[in-house]
Amino acid sequence: MRIKSALTLSTFLSIIIVLTLGITTSAFNLQIRKVTAHLAMTRNMKATIAQRSILGVEFYIRGENRPLEQANLETERLESLFEQMRESFEEAEHASILLEMVSTNDSYVKLFDQFKSSIHAGIDKESGGRPHSDYEKTLYSQIQLKSYMLQALAESLETWHLRRIDSLNTWTTMIFSISLFILIIFVLVNSIWISNKLSTGVERLRQGATLLGGGDLTHRLSIFPEDEIADVAREINMMAESLAISFTSIRNLEHEVAQREQAEGEIRSINAGLEERIAARTAQLESVNKELEAFAYSVAHDLRAPLRSIDGFTRILQEEYEPVFDDEARRLLGIIRASSVKMDSMIHSLLELTRTGKSEFSPTDLDMRSLAIQVFAECSDPELVASFEFDAGALPDAFGDRLMMERVWLNLLSNAVKYSAHSPVRRIEVRGNVDDGMNVYSVRDHGAGFDQRYVGKLFGTFHRLHCESEFAGSGIGLSIVKKIIERHGGAVWAEGRVNDGATFSFSLPRRS
Amino acid sequence: MKRTLAALGLLLLLLGTCTRHTPKIEPIEDVLKLAYMDLPQSGIIHIALEKGFFTAEGLTVKALPFAFGKLALASVSRGEADLSISPETPIVFSILAGENLGIAAVIGTWDKNTVIIANKASGVQKPSDLVGKTIGVTRGTTGEYFLETFLLVRGIKLDSVKIVDMQPAMMLEALLSDQIAAAATWTPIHFDISERLAEQALIFFGDDFYTEHLVISGTLTYMKKNPGAMKAFIRAIIRAEDFMKEYPDEAVVIIAEHSNLSRSSVRATLELLRGRVSLDQSLLLQLEDETRWALRLPIYAGQSMPNWLNYLHMDALDSVAPDRVRVIR
């Protein structure tokens, strides 16, 4: 049974006991009052009978009317009492006694009337000459006898009522005592029971909590008997279960953290190794690159001397031995000289490219618009340049090497002029803006353009997207631009369409 | 739990202590010889015998039935019985005769038990017609006292009628044969006579001048020597009285079987009886009235009125049911 239910039941039963006690006591009190009222009536009746008897004696002795009248009044009172008692007395035994009393009283009255008549008539006085005749004595004896009988009956009623009151009082006391005793026992037993239940339950909780608190999260508290303690035990069990799950998660997390820390350590270790390797490789690459540049420079430089010899001697042959040679020989000599010139040009460009990587880098603040305008004026044949509309917008200032930047502008603007020379629209637009922390510059023309699919080859060394006979060039200018811009930490890109012009753009980091 | 059981045990112990203790009945060795009139008036004895109330009180009773009270009392006088059930009149005569008798209790009173039944055919139509007539009566019984008191109250001189002594059983025949014009007798004998005389029967009641008492009497010696038996006897007849009140129909059946009478006759007799085991002042008056009457008889000439208080043995009833003793002491 649940403790709350037990307490409710206990309270309810206590109230019932107290109510029963109250109702029973009240009922007994009412009964006692009623019986006491009946007793009072009975005593009144008894007194009336006794007084009438005394008045009868007075009349017997004196023969006066006064005691007779008083006795008659007492008889009337007695008959009235009989009537009242017959209405209010409920016991069958009392009804029988009252009936007997009424009958006896009737006999009394009848005998007394005869006695009175005899006295008044003086029948026997005259005949017998005695104060009372045997007849009167016999009558009076029976009158007295009836009076005693009435007295005895009244006393029996009185005794009954006295006993009844005594019995009711005894019962009231007994019921009150027993009820009180039961109530006390009930409260005691109930208190002990609930106290035991609570202390046992709390002890069970304490032991369980101690075990759980000690770390034994697998321990479960008993949930029997089913009561509030069991509810608490159930909650504690659930809490222990949650705690166990949380502990497991924490342990897993700790394990995971440890693993991660280990992995991070390993990664850091690997990174450190990688950086070292990258630095080593970079150093190696730089060394190789330097060696390659040195080699290229050396080759280019060294190749120029024999090339000049070939060109010189071929020129001598052409000039000195022209008549000797036939046309085919002259044509071939012409090819040799043209190839030598071209090769010299290529070597020159290659040397220039190599120098770009090797030259000293001295950055300074640059007015890019002025620089572009200045370079454009000198980038090609003045007549040709003059035939172009040059539109230079506002360009952000740059921070870079002046010579290198002049070379960038020169290559891009000269290319724009060159590839727009055959175009009906001779217009070149230079624009600049700041985007995402970088200065972005562009050169747009409306010339031959190029196929966007091959844009990747545009900045390669000696790569060309147009025939040399159509547009002369070494094929190394954009490579130099790319190299300079990258050396500044920027980037270069191009967009174009065949016969619809091209836009070459580059970005430079803003000065921090 | 143990404490709970202990508390309940304590409660039961308390309740057990509170319950009324029933005293153990000690059997009484001597057999009580009871002479009683085998009439419905002694119905209380029939009930006590039939229902075993005497035995239940540890008393062995030897019941000696007699036709009427005078005979029953006579058996006590002869020493054949210890107690008797009879009206008060024979006791008056016995005491005046010097017997050492005592009255232990009254078991009932009634006003219309004894009557005068007349045969109209003998010329009796009213009480005064009895003058000059022969009236049968059993001497030494209530019948005799009733007859003479009746005549006195009616103003009829005793010597104006002829009174003959006869047993109750003879009265019917005497009336039918016109030997007597009327008879003074009691219930249920007058029921039989009335039935036989039919419309010729005329009954005169006592007009409340005679209250007959049916009493338990015995030798004072016996009663004083056997207080246990007396108390047991009183207890048993009080139980019988209660039974009669509680089960009146069953009581009528038992009494009818014992007295060999019809149930209607028994019922009619019991209706006249105010059955109550008691001892009160009215008995003294009745005894004195009857003694005063008896003292006029020549055989008791010179004797004075005895103090009837001395012939009341109130100990037994006073001990068993003191509230039933209402004699002024």
Q: How many CB atoms lie under 10 A from the CB of residue A131?
A: 13
Q: Assign B22 a pLDDT band (cuts: 50, 70, 90).
A: low
Q: Assign B207 a pLDDT band (cuts: 50, 70, 90).
A: confident
Q: What is the pLDDT of residue B253?
A: 96
**A351 has pLDDT over 60:** yes
Inside any domain, residue A223: no
**A13 has pLDDT over 50:** yes
Q: What is the pLDDT of residue B277?
A: 95
Q: Mean pLDDT, to the nearest integer, of B165-186? A: 94
**pTM (2 decimals)?**
0.60
Inside any domain, residue A418: yes
Q: What percent of chain A is modeled with pLDDT above 90?
A: 29
CB contact under 8 A, B152 and A135: yes
Digit-coded pLDDT (tens) for A253-308: 999 999 999 999 998 888 888 888 888 887 877 777 677 767 777 776 777 777 88
Looking at every residue in chain A, the average pLDDT score rounds to 85
Q: Which residues contact A134 (CB under 8 A, 6 or more apart)?
A: A124, A128, B152
- Decide: A491 and A485 in contact? Cβ < 8 Å: yes
Give the span between the Cα atoms of B41 and B37, in whole angstroms: 8
Q: How many CB atoms lie under 10 A from the CB of residue A269?
A: 10
Q: Assign A6 a pLDDT band (cuts: 50, 70, 90).
A: confident
Per the structure, the complete domain to which residue A284 belongs is given by: 228-358
A144: chain B residues, CB-CB within 8 Å: 285
SS3 of chain B: CHHHHHHHHHHHHHHHHHCCCCCCCCCCCCEEEEEEECCHHHHHHHHHHHCCHHHHCCCEEEEEEECCHHHHHHHHHCCCCCEEEEEHHHHHHHHHCCCCEEEEEEEEEECCCEEEEEEHHHCCCCHHHHCCCEEEECCCCHHHHHHHHHHHHCCCCHHHCEEEECCHHHHHHHHHCCCCCEEEEECCHHHHHHHHHHHHEEEECCCCCCCEEEEEEEEHHHHHHCHHHHHHHHHHHHHHHHHHHHCHHHHHHHHHHHHCCCHHHHHHHHHHCEEEEEEEHHHHHHHHHHHHHHCCCHHHCCCCCCCHHHHECCHHHHHHCHHHEECCC
Digit-coded pLDDT (tens) for A240-254: 888 888 888 888 999
Inside any domain, residue B17: no
**A467 has pLDDT over 80:** no
Digit-coded pLDDT (tens) for A356-383: 767 788 899 999 999 999 999 988 888 8
CB contact under 8 A, A111 and B281: no
Q: Assign B15 a pLDDT band (cuts: 50, 70, 90).
A: low
The angle subtended at Cα B45 by Cα B97 and Cα B184, nearest 5°, is 55
**A403 has pLDDT over 50:** yes
Give the span between the Cα atoms of A415 and A417, in whole angstroms: 5
Q: Mean pLDDT, to the nearest integer, of B290-312? A: 91
Give the residue from B204, B222, B240 where a domain finishes.
Answer: B204
Give the span between the Cα atoms of A499 and B200, in whole angstroms: 176
Pair B95, B179 in one domain: no
Q: Mean pLDDT, to the nearest integer, of B175-192? A: 92
Digit-coded pLDDT (tens) for A177-209: 887 888 888 888 888 887 887 788 788 788 888
**Based on the structure, what is the number of domains in chain B?**
2
Per the structure, the complete domain to which residue B126 belongs is given by: 114-204
Please give the C-alpha separations between residue A408 and each of A233, A415, A483, A484, in angstroms, as whole numbers.
84, 11, 10, 7
A200: chain B residues, CB-CB within 8 Å: none
ipTM: 0.79
CB contact under 8 A, A155 and B323: yes
Inside any domain, residue A142: yes
Q: How many CB atoms lie under 10 A from the CB of residue A182?
A: 17
DSSP reduced 3-state for A197: helix
Interface test with B, best of A148, A155, A193 (most B CBs within 10 A): A148
Q: Assign B23 a pLDDT band (cuts: 50, 70, 90).
A: low
Q: Assign A454 a pLDDT band (cuts: 50, 70, 90).
A: confident
Give the residue from B204, B222, B256 where a domain finishes.
Answer: B204
Q: Mean pLDDT, to the nearest integer, of A224-229? A: 79
Pair A294, A399 in one domain: no
Q: Assign B13 a pLDDT band (cuts: 50, 70, 90).
A: low
Q: What is the pLDDT of residue A364?
A: 92
Q: What is the pLDDT of residue A124?
A: 45
Q: The CATH number of the domain where A71 resides is what?
A: 1.20.120.1730
Pair A373, A344 in one domain: no
Pair A237, A334 in one domain: yes
B15: chain A residues, CB-CB within 8 Å: 178
**Based on the structure, what is the number of domains in chain A?**
3
Which residue of A lies nearest to B324 if distances are taken between CA atoms?
Answer: A156
Q: Which of A100, A159, A189 sits opposite B4 (nearest CB)?
A: A189
**A125 has pLDDT over 60:** no
Pair A389, A351 in one domain: no
